[in-house]
Amino acid sequence: MSQQRNSREKLNRIIEENQHLSIEYIEQLATPILDDLTSWVNRKFYNPLNGELNYEITLDERVNATATTNVLDPMHPVIKITLGMLREIYRDAFVFPLVSDIISESTTTVKTLNEQFQNLYFTFDSGVPPIHTNQQTKLFNLVKTAYDERRHEKLTDDMLGARFMMFELMVVWLYFHELGHLLQRHFLLKIIQPGDSIVSVSEIQEAVDFHSKTTDENYFLKSQAREILADLEGVDLTVSYMLKNKLFHMPGIYLLMCAQEIMFHRFFQSYPENFEIPEINHPNPVVRGEYVQGYLTNLVLDTLVKNGLISERKDAAYPITYLSIRASSMAGLFWANRYEEFDGGELPTFMRLASKENHEPKMQYVHTMRYWIDYQLEEIKSNHLCSPNFIEYFEGLRLYKK
């Protein structure tokens, strides 16, 4: 993390929190979600091809996840998620409703935004949206009784439900991002060292990648574009998961948007405060957020129409725009209040880079990524393990296409 950007005092408090975070409990929460995901993915994708996907939760403090393929046995890949990653997902999901409640009560942020949207029926004054009983996750219903017996925090059922919904959706989207790498078979596009049989696509930089530019001067540009494609396939699969598990509703959509924004804030900590394209595997998280937000809002609207929940896209365009803007604002303020040197006097760095004042350099980066996406797309389409897939829909949107 950037020492200039982040508060040492706040980071010390985060470290102190670790004493109260049970790794065993977090693993118990994540395991049934990951078991269910892996079972569904194998039935849908790998078993028909005589393959099998497995996952591992690794005892590693680093915040990381990896899609690993043995090129000698590519139909038996492994998704690895560190306990360090799951701990931070748990931490963010469980604190976000509390901080959101404080922001909504102690600042004019929510009030001002709601007034901009004429306080219409879809706006909400509380920190998190109301969650009806039939909208709660299975995980929430399993643990609610135990929580009620020892609840000491100032938590409403909406806040408690938002915690578990956000945790689940964060885990699901992360898992499906890694699956996106596997389904698109990105290992075929990586530069493999002689004698290597294991190819990994990781959320952190690997030593082998620093040597790859000598083989391909555009290696990092291509890699960054593939990360965006994995993001978008992850979004597509997450929406399918939400439909299957009855989480495709306003609270679920909003909390997914918040979860994605918070994840991008986390990854942003090692990036410069500009839009120079770095020689690393992952694009600037502000740019990733631009693609994910643009793709998700379109997909949500089209899914609402497809499932007969609205007649036309325009029927929900205004509410979804509200949720998107609110998620970006609340996630940004959450992160700044939790981690950064922030007094409320100016926008946090991530939010400033995403704002209108940096629109031109941001869009230059976005369009550069679209060029390198298109450059590889035909090969990725031919490599993809399943058809149909998200690519046809993505191409039809012409998102950020010049």
Residue 75 counted as domain residue: no
Question: Is 325 inside a domain boundary?
Answer: yes
- Fill in the amino acid letter for 158: D
Q: Does 199 fall in a domain?
A: no
Nearest to 223 by CA among 270, 277, 175: 277
CB 257 within 8 Å of CB 323? yes
- What pLDDT is recorded for position 139? 84
Token readout for 43 is: 């039935």
Question: What range does the domain containing 327 cover?
Answer: 85-188+219-397
On whether residue 193 sits in a domain, the answer given is no
pTM for the model stands at: 0.94
Do the domain assignments include residue 64?
no
How far apart CA 297 and CA 307 sit, in angstroms, is 16
In a domain, residue 390? The reply is yes
Total structural domains in the chain? 1
Residue 287 CA to residue 367 CA, distance in Å, equals 10
Following CA atoms 85, 280, 235, 68 in sequence, which dihedral angle do they give, to the nearest 10 degrees? -60
Residue 213 is which amino acid?
K
CB 335 within 8 A of CB 2: no
pLDDT value at residue 3: 42
pLDDT for residue 214: 63
Using CA atoms, how far apart are residues 240 and 380, in angstroms rounded to an integer? 21
- How far is residue 52 CA from its own chain's centroid? 25
Domain assignment of residue 15, yes or no: no
> What pLDDT shows up at residue 257?
99
Helix, strand, or coil (residue 199):
strand
Angstrom CA distances, 1 to 76, 99, 150, 251, 269, stand at 35, 21, 35, 31, 5
- Chunked into runs of 10 residues, the chain (402 residues) has average pLDDT values of 70 87 94 98 98 98 95 96 97 96 96 98 98 91 77 79 97 98 94 70 63 74 97 99 97 99 95 94 97 99 98 98 98 95 86 96 98 98 96 98 86
The answer to whether residues 86 and 171 touch, using CB atoms and an 8 Å cutoff, is yes
Chain-centre distance for alpha carbon 128: 18
Alpha-carbon gap, residue 164 to 101, rounded angstroms: 16
Question: Do the domain assignments include residue 302?
Answer: yes
